Amino acid sequence: MKEATGKWASRFEDCKLCEWKCGVNRLEAETGVCGAGMPEIAYCNLAEVLQSYSVTMLSCNFKCIYCNAYRLSQYPDSGWFYRGYVDPGELATEALRRIDSVEGRAMHVDKISFTGGEPAIHLPYIAAVIEETKKKIPGLGVGFATNGFMSKKTLQEIIELCSYVTFEIKAFNDDTHRAITGAPVEPVLRNAEYLIRKGKEKIRAFRTIVIPGINDTEIVEIAEFLVSIDPSVPLRIIPFRPNYILYYHPGPTKKRMDEIGDAVLKTGLEDVWWRGYYPVNASKRAIDISKNQKKLTSVTHRGARLGFAYSKLAGCITENRNCGECTMKLSCAVGLKEPWLLDD
Ligand code: SF4
Ligand code: SF4
């Protein structure tokens, strides 16, 4: 790893950036709960939906049993290799170049966002990157996605630095939160309240993931907690998708998601959004398309027709896939589609 320089780096010498308050010297390879040394980057990308240049950072101070990014959140223990340390000035230059690229302009990218893993454990580095980008574009937006387990001081800095904060509350009760994340819930709820009271205009959304049989009875409690502070804050309720330690645990059905969403609305929370579920059956539209294909193509195997149908829903223009001969092979439109997008 390249050596980090700059005043910001000294803040890792006695690291108390998050609520674990380990006090280790991360510059000297001492590690705390998060296992992180110097801030390292997994990858960066232009994110069309968020209109953002997104920086995904390695390591996390939680060990969530459902983490869908566990190979990077549990870095370095995961044993995967990533991009690593990048000087803040270099990252800022790269971000500005991508934002001003043909693709960046086409996506109307107007912000740089930090996610992970948990970006709060790298905040001094992130602050240095933001400082560099703002020398060139003072009005550039800054997004931040967090698990909410930072120290009070770190949260205050995040509110000052960022334009949009997405804050995840993973459970309401302490034992459930510990079971899911390995960490107590009190600092998260304390920080959620502080963010609402001191930085409400920065809140993009609170979000919570529904895990059937584990936290699904606590979503209403989370909503009631938010309502007790400010009923207008946005809550986004997202279905769990099997991953990591819960790889073999089912996600919520559409019926369960709707039940939870309706119950949350009754708490008086005004800005609630939920969408998505865990599909127990194949997509209806894919099945319909595969049935039509039976008449239109020479594909004889039923399974192949269903496979083709999914590709078609995802953007494939051919009826009988042969990527080598496709007229779109250099600009293939096929991409991941969530199950509920397929059937909407
Ligand atoms: S960021 Fe948090 S978990 Fe990591 S070393 Fe610092 S205080 Fe410990
Ligand atoms: S807080 Fe997020 S990134 Fe960290 S372990 Fe949990 S789900 Fe993964």
Tens of pLDDT, residue by residue over 161-207, are 999 999 999 999 999 999 999 999 999 999 999 999 999 999 999 99
Using pLDDT thresholds of 50, 70 and 90, give the confidence band for residue 3. low
Residue range(s) in the chain whose domain bears CATH number 3.20.20.70: 7-274
Q: Whose CA is nearest to atom 7 of ligand 2?
A: 67
Q: Tell me which ligand sits closest to the C-alpha of residue 150.
A: 1
Q: Whose CA is nearest to atom 1 of ligand 1?
A: 121
Instruction: Tell me how far the alpha carbon of residue 185 is from its chain's centroid.
Output: 19
Q: Tell me which ligand sits closest to the C-alpha of residue 20.
A: 1
The two structure tokens encoding residue 86: 């990048």
Question: Is the model's pLDDT at 327 over the cut of 60?
Answer: yes
Residue that is written with structure tokens 């109307």 in the block: 108
Average pLDDT of the chain, as a whole number: 93
Of all atoms in ligand 1, which is nearest to the CA of residue 21? 7
Give 292-295 contacts, CB < 8 A, sequence gap 24+.
293/319
The two structure tokens encoding residue 155: 């949260």
Of all atoms in ligand 2, which is nearest to the CA of residue 74? 5
Q: How far is the CA of 68 from the centre of ligand 2 (A)?
A: 8
Question: Is the model's pLDDT at 339 over the cut of 90?
Answer: no
Is there a contact between 20 and 30 (Cβ–Cβ < 8 Å)? no
- Please tell me which residue, 203 or 280, carries the higher pLDDT value: 203
Q: Cα dihedral angle (37, 40, 42, 43), rounded to 10 degrees?
A: 180
Instruction: Find the residues whose C-beta lies inside 6 A of ligand 2.
Output: 60, 62-64, 67, 69, 73, 116-118, 147, 181
pLDDT given at position 2: 57
Is there a contact between 18 and 34 (Cβ–Cβ < 8 Å)? yes
Whether omega for the bond prior to residue 76 falls within 30 degrees of 0, making it cis, is yes
pLDDT tens digits, one per residue of 17-28: 999 999 999 999
Q: Whose CA is nearest to atom 8 of ligand 2?
A: 67
Q: How far is the CA of 26 from the centre of ligand 1 (A)?
A: 9
Is there a contact between 300 and 273 (Cβ–Cβ < 8 Å)? no
Give the start-end residues of each E strand in 8-63.
Answer: 41-47, 52-57
Say what percent of the chain tops pLDDT 70. 97
Of all atoms in ligand 1, which is nearest to the CA of residue 16? 7
pLDDT tens digits, one per residue of 214-270: 999 999 999 999 999 999 999 999 999 999 999 999 999 999 999 999 999 999 999
Q: Which DSSP string corresponds to 192-256? A: HHHHHHHHGGGEEEEEEEE-TTTTTTSHHHHHHHHHHH-TTSEEEEEE----GGGTTS----HHH
pLDDT given at position 302: 87
pLDDT tens digits, one per residue of 36-61: 999 999 999 999 888 999 999 999 99
Q: How far is the CA of 12 from the centre of ligand 1 (A)?
A: 9
pLDDT given at position 4: 64
Q: Tell me which ligand sits closest to the C-alpha of residue 16.
A: 1
Question: Is the model's pLDDT at 73 over the cut of 70?
Answer: yes
| Phi and psi angles of residue 39, each rounded to the nearest 5 degrees, phi first | -60, 130
- Please tell me which residue, 123 or 280, carries the higher pLDDT value: 123
Question: Is the model's pLDDT at 63 over the cut of 90?
Answer: yes
Please give the average per-residue pLDDT across 59-83, as a whole number: 93
Residue 169, CB half-sphere, CA atoms under 13 Å: how many? 30
Question: Is the model's pLDDT at 29 over the cut of 80?
Answer: yes
Q: How far is the CA of 263 from the centre of ligand 2 (A)?
A: 26
Is there a contact between 226 and 208 (Cβ–Cβ < 8 Å)? no
Please tell me the distance from the alpha carbon of residue 230 to that of residue 9, in angstroms, as a whole number.
Answer: 37
Q: How far is the CA of 182 from the centre of ligand 1 (A)?
A: 14
Q: How far is the CA of 22 from the centre of ligand 1 (A)?
A: 5
Instruction: Find the residues whose C-beta lies inside 6 A of ligand 1.
Output: 15-18, 20-22, 24, 32-34, 36, 61, 121
Q: How far is the CA of 313 from the centre of ligand 1 (A)?
A: 44
Of all atoms in ligand 2, which is nearest to the CA of residue 69? 8
- Please measure the distance between the N-terminal and C-terminal CA atoms of the chain and give it in whole angstroms: 46
Q: How far is the CA of 316 from the centre of ligand 2 (A)?
A: 33
Please tell me the distance from the alpha carbon of residue 307 to that of residue 287, in angstroms, as a whole number.
Answer: 10
Q: Whose CA is nearest to atom 6 of ligand 2?
A: 64
The two structure tokens encoding residue 175: 């034992």
pLDDT given at position 49: 87
Please tell me the distance from the alpha carbon of residue 72 to that of residue 26, in angstroms, as a whole number.
Answer: 18
The two structure tokens encoding residue 212: 């059937």
CATH code assigned to 7-274: 3.20.20.70
Name the residue among 329, 289, 314, 283 with its Cα closest to residue 297.
289
Of all atoms in ligand 2, which is nearest to the CA of residue 181? 6
The two structure tokens encoding residue 106: 């086409």
